[in-house]
A = this chain, B = another copy of it.
Amino acid sequence: MIRVGINGYGTIGKRVADAVRDQPDMEVVGVAKTRPNFEAERAVARGYDLYAAIEDRASQFADAGIETAGLVDELVAQSDVVVDATPSGIGAQNKELYEEYDTPALYQGGEDADVADVSFNARGNFDDARNADHVRVVSCNTTGLSRLLAPLREEYGVEKARVTLVRRGGDPGQTSRGPIDDILPNPITLPSHHGPDVNTIFPDLDIDTLGLKVPATLMHMHSVNVTLESEPSADDVRDLLEGESRIFCIPPEFDIDGTGKLKEYAKDLGRPRGDVWENGLWSESVTMEGNDLYLFQAIHQESDVVPENVDAIRAVTDSMDGAESIETTNSALGI
């Protein structure tokens, strides 16, 4: 069993903890958090050992009536792998701690790429992360683009990708974020960071990305153009994408018109927290004009990196190959 510690128990950390616990070859040593809140209460209720991430604030947990198992250093010491799911920038600060205990660590996509030896997407470059000590699981949007571009590159070749990312302004719980009633080019200058980030997975890919922010919380939306090196039919492309386990090709007859109904479908499926781990790709939108492919896909910013973190744990411990890991993760989660 791979012993996994999770440092940071927020949006990503709590989901990764649950996904790790569901795997046949892993166990959760514990989770670390900076301060008590509803998520800390739930962590203990779910049976996770809770470690205080900041020594000076450890007493706050006792004050809130929440039992802790010790400090984060002890969690790192006991773990075969640590998943750092702390806010952007904090992961880089924690690197020293993981090195001190010689514990391989995963970081999230909010960190700069140079925090790690390799940036990771299970479908894109699993082997690059085998036995690495520091691996960065790329962000939700980069994950979604990598999953889509990997099969297109392999099957047809990609001349150029151009993507407009219509991003949700904040998650449902991020009550101080905007915009309200506005559409923001974000950033105004090009490219957005997503294109260069995809290049951490596919260094030789020609990709231009434009980012926007809108008053929505549920999922991101990608308006995708990929100029292919060959001219398959739209049906060919659909067949190819339907064969990808982490792309959910939304059938027209489901009558899912946007991110709201897609999330509702995930809840009807009984998915934990209504998570959509796969890219939600509208089958009907897949269109070929000459060698230009167009399509829409929705990306669940809170959860699509969760199975990728699980696979990255197997990569750094070199305990399975990529295909086997993806299949094991999917099977355990019910993807």
Residues of B within 8 A of A284 (CB): 188-189
Docked CA distance A214–B284 (Å): 20
Q: Please determine whether A258 and B184 come into contact, CB atoms closer than 8 angstroms.
A: yes
State the oligomeric state as a number of copies.
2
A279 within 8 A of B: no
A162, chain B: closest CB distance, angstroms: 5
Restricting to A164-192, which residues have a CB under 8 Å from any CB of B? 164, 166, 168, 179, 181-186, 188-191
Restricting to A146-161, which residues have a CB under 8 Å from any CB of B? 160
Q: Which of B185, B191, B225 contacts A296 (CB 8 A)?
A: B185
A223 within 8 A of B: yes
Q: A284-B188, A287-B190 are in contact. Are A215 and B181 (CB under 8 A)?
A: yes
A100 within 8 A of B: no
Q: Please determine whether A210 and B258 come into contact, CB atoms closer than 8 angstroms.
A: no
Restricting to A194-219, which residues have a CB under 8 Å from any CB of B? 208, 210, 212, 214-219
Residues of B within 8 A of A162 (CB): 162, 225, 292
A76, chain B: closest CB distance, angstroms: 39
Interface residues of A (CB under 8 A from B): 160, 162, 164, 166, 168, 179, 181-186, 188-191, 208, 210, 212, 214-221, 223, 225, 252, 257-260, 282, 284-285, 287, 289, 292, 294, 296, 298
